[in-house]
Structure 1
Amino acid sequence: MAKALISADMEGISGIVHPTETNPDRYDYERGRALMTADVNAVVAGVLEAEPSAEVVVVDAHGPFRNLLLEDLDRRVRLIRGRPRPRGMLAGLADDVDAVLFVGYHARAGTGPAVLAHTISDAVLGVRLNGREVGEIGLNVALAGQHGAPVVLLSGDEAACAELLELVPDASTVPVKRALGQLTAEVLHPAVARDRLRHGAATAMGRRAQVPPLSISGPVALEVDLYSPSAVDMATLIPGVERAAGARTVTFTGRDVAEAYDVVQLLVQLAQVKNG
């Protein structure tokens, strides 16, 4: 029996273009949650269409990690929600996972045009693994690869889809919108997007054996560019983290991708702490 892990972010969900739809404190968030839940259900339907006996775990991977409407989620799945937790956006990842699917993902910081492009937080300007610029897509693909799990599908705007294909050329992608700017896109009708998501997930699961995991052997050189100089000051208090040349970059060498990934998560939390 195959095990599929679906990691669901929000900025790349069909129809979403603005922070009011992704932020729990803003007026349009409940609509965004409904759109997110419906997109995930479409992907679940595709996975189980291809492999009816598959075990499906859904990971709520946006913001507070408490966005998906549990009562409206496909009853055949198990949901991981809440934070803090190990492995962040890929909580539940283990060596028994056969395929990983990214739903509603967005492009990395500095990409454009791309809807709501960023890397984890606005406190982060950039992240590099072994000198290669990565965003959440690259970090999560690498972490999945450490467990031997291929990322077989991504949905989001066209920029996010291209970002995955740079790393995993054999993966399937479902572009559900075309970015015209950071807060603007040409979008599909939700029903059309969900039909494409269901079909794309079924296709991706059907050819998962043809998609190799991204393998990065250790040690792993990590560089993170932080927006705030005071965040850099705090970051250097973490054992092994050093200030690089220039005011904004810190470095760390991890034993493997997982250790580097954990340090990125910690750096983000430190960078969001208010001084004073």
Structure 2
Amino acid sequence: MKVFISADIEGCAAITTWDEVHKGRAGHQEFREQMTAEVVAACEGARAAGATDILIKDAHESGCNLIVSRLPEYARIIRAWSGHPYVMMFGLDASFDAALFIGYHDAAGSDTNPLAHTMNDRIARLSINGELASEFTVNAYTASLNGVPPVFLSGDRGICGAAEQLVPGMKTIAVSEGFGRSTMSLAPAKALRLIREGVEEALAGDLSRCSLGLPDRFEVVLEFNNASDAYRSSFYPGVEHPEARTLRFVSNDYFEVLRTIRFITL
């Protein structure tokens, strides 16, 4: 079994402030250790379920957060950013049997994580076909584009609920919940155990239950916090600029959606 892991940090256990997720700041070291431990727990669960090849994409900020010396020998890792439109899913292809999402967080415009955002802090809201979309939404459809089922996600309670709604068969583990600028979290050790057990359970069943169909048509609307950011990105081919802070584009080709999102959110 071949498994792909996309790892973020804002949805890891106990993380609450931006100081804890930005490289070079005082809180980052402690929580890059938690991010690493949660990824290792996912690897252990996947291994127990029969995975023989695990590819990890370090998918937060610099792409160089995980402590690589702690990763198991049967895993591989992609660090930093290639520039490919798959972004947080770079390295995924049709040869994988399942995709896992670790440390994920709710979308910009939601209130279940004090660090909720989508792509970057310049975007106020992203919707796909009229529905609020998170980074998980974008990345789950990327998995679907390659015929790979998204089977497991850990993160805040809000993104877990959204993931279950998009992919009803997938397993989720909520390790924290946001209340304004605060969070209520599981103890990190318990989060690790539940992630390990949850991944093993998710991969042991019929993976086809998590198959996600791609819509025939994608209408994507991005609302920026600042009108100047929307104006600058409005010149990308096929993009409409209906309002001061808003961009819209439509495509039947999801790779084109990913390419457009990649370039207009720079």
TM-score by length of 1: 0.92
1:160 CA displacement: 1.2
- Residue 145 of structure 1: aligned partner: 144
Where in structure 2 are the equivalents of 1:21-170 lying within 5 Å? 21-51=20-50, 53-86=51-84, 87-170=86-169
Give unpaired runs (5+ residues) of structure 1.
270-276
- Name the amino acid aligned to 2:120: S
Runs of 4+ in 1 over 4 A off after TM superposition: none
Whether the 8 Å contact between 2:112 and 2:157 is mirrored in structure 1 is: no
Whether the 8 Å contact between 2:231 and 2:244 is mirrored in structure 1 is: no
Whether the 8 Å contact between 1:115 and 1:157 is mirrored in structure 2 is: no
- Residue 249 of structure 2: aligned partner: 252
- Name the amino acid aligned to 1:9: D
Of residues 231-240 and 155-164 in structure 1, the stretch that sits farther from structure 2 once superposed is: 231-240
User: C-alpha root-mean-square deviation of aligned residues, in Å?
Assistant: 1.4
| Corresponding residue pairs, total | 265
Where in structure 2 are the equivalents of 1:230-249 lying within 5 Å? 230-244=228-242, 246-249=243-246
- Name the amino acid aligned to 1:250: L
Give unpaired runs (5+ residues) of structure 2.
none
- Residue 196 of structure 1: aligned partner: 194
Equivalent-residue separation in structure 2 for 1:73 and 1:15 (angstroms)? 21
- Residue 218 of structure 2: aligned partner: 220
Equivalent-residue separation in structure 2 for 1:154 and 1:21 (angstroms)? 21
| Percent identity between the two aligned chains | 31
- Residue 273 of structure 1: aligned partner: none
Equivalent-residue separation in structure 1 for 2:73 and 2:45 (angstroms)? 14
TM-score by length of 2: 0.95
Match of 2:185 among 182, 187, 204: 187
- Residue 259 of structure 2: aligned partner: 262
- Residue 272 of structure 1: aligned partner: none
1:64 CA displacement: 1.1
1:208 CA displacement: 4.4
